[in-house]
Chains A and B, each alone.
Chain A
């Protein structure tokens, strides 16, 4: 889980071109949107693509988005759950 969250942080920085942000500066439970990392709706689309590209996970229900992309931890938990389902 720790490794997955660390990977996710690097991938988010690369995908969203977050300049001057280092992986260790993103908290596991820090909100990604609005007050936290300050991401917006275009970034949400980029994160959906990131999940598909890196983890072959297609977000089937758009209403899950706010819950899945709340923090790095919720993203990692969603990936883990999906991987367990498909194991």
Chain B
């Protein structure tokens, strides 16, 4: 299968917007229980007349997609595919709270119109005047993976040559409060830079918008090649995960010794990180984590794919990411293994072009 990552656009809690050198500067530190995105000046990327109607997540998504398309030099993708678990929460909260406070009367249309899960993909389509395939996947912890799988299938079946695909989720005050009550996040204040060194109950909330332009034809400026993707829902113990992982690698004619780097989805939550420890077969591979950079959210695999794409393009691991494994040989193949709540497990395989 030919699926090349030609361009990326990423708005995250790190300084990733605008394609600065990959994780070259000091990492952004967040204390507390949430990591909000470091947002760019949107006026440079989006028409001001359109910005006024966009909530934060729409701005993040549209801006990341715009950066991605600009880098690719593609003005009209053959398809736009997005993945989001929570959708446009701010607009949803705004609309629902007004329904209550105004007794279901005098409701303004904008928040309602913008509150659907496909708003970002639709907004990108409207901006580009792109009437082609446009789909949004809302599958909890598999939302981005489903979008990516759809993009890969569109290329494989020759329905498209260029697909814009992205994963987007936001934290709002409402969602953070509700998810905190459900025990997802830590109590008290901690630093994201110590998130993995000091495992505890709960993790830190994160958010982000990462877009990719994937193409069926190779070009000289590609970041990486996407070789495979697999998902596993509610596995019954580590043996099942290892079995799935083995069959995934076998399907790609690989074994663990062929993997130069594993990017794992550890988030500092004792309960869920145990899953990574129990996968003995993975332990032979050098590993780095990424959620200390972006926090935990259902589409965080998109951040991991962005990270993997950048590592494969340069061939090196930034010392900031993992000083202990920075001295190894050129990285040619990366496996991303992430799990969200020990329910949604996914594997993404990428290689250097």
Contact = CB atoms under 8 A, between A and B. Distances in A.
A18 B52 contact: yes
Interface in B166-195: none
Interface residues of A, number: 13
25 contacts: A15-B108, A16-B52, A17-B52, A17-B53, A18-B52, A19-B48, A19-B51, A19-B52, A20-B48, A38-B49, A42-B53, A42-B109, A42-B110, A42-B113, A45-B108, A45-B109, A46-B108, A46-B109, A46-B110, A49-B106, A49-B107, A49-B108, A49-B109, A52-B106, A53-B106
Nearest to A16: B52
B107 to A, nearest CB: 7
B94 to A, nearest CB: 12
Given A49-B108, A53-B106, 4 more contacts: A42-B53, A46-B109, A49-B109, A52-B106
Interface in B78-115: 106-110, 113
Contacts of A42: 53, 109-110, 113
B195 to A, nearest CB: 36
A84 to B, nearest CB: 23
Interface string A4-38: 00000000000111111000000000000000001
Interface SS majority for chain B: helix
Contacts, number: 25
A18 B110 CA distance: 13
Interface of A: 15-20, 38, 42, 45-46, 49, 52-53
Contacts of B49: 38
A53 B108 CA distance: 10
In the A-B complex, the 3 residue pairs with the closest CB atoms: A17-B52, A45-B109, A49-B108
Nearest to B114: A42
Contacts of A49: 106-109
Nearest to A51: B106
A45 B53 CA distance: 13
B299 to A, nearest CB: 27
Contacts of B109: 42, 45-46, 49
A9 to B, nearest CB: 16
A52 B52 CA distance: 22
Nearest to B113: A42
A8 to B, nearest CB: 17
Contacts of B48: 19-20
B120 to A, nearest CB: 17
B57 to A, nearest CB: 16
Nearest to A46: B108
Contacts of A53: 106
Contacts of B106: 49, 52-53
Contacts of B113: 42
Nearest to B54: A17
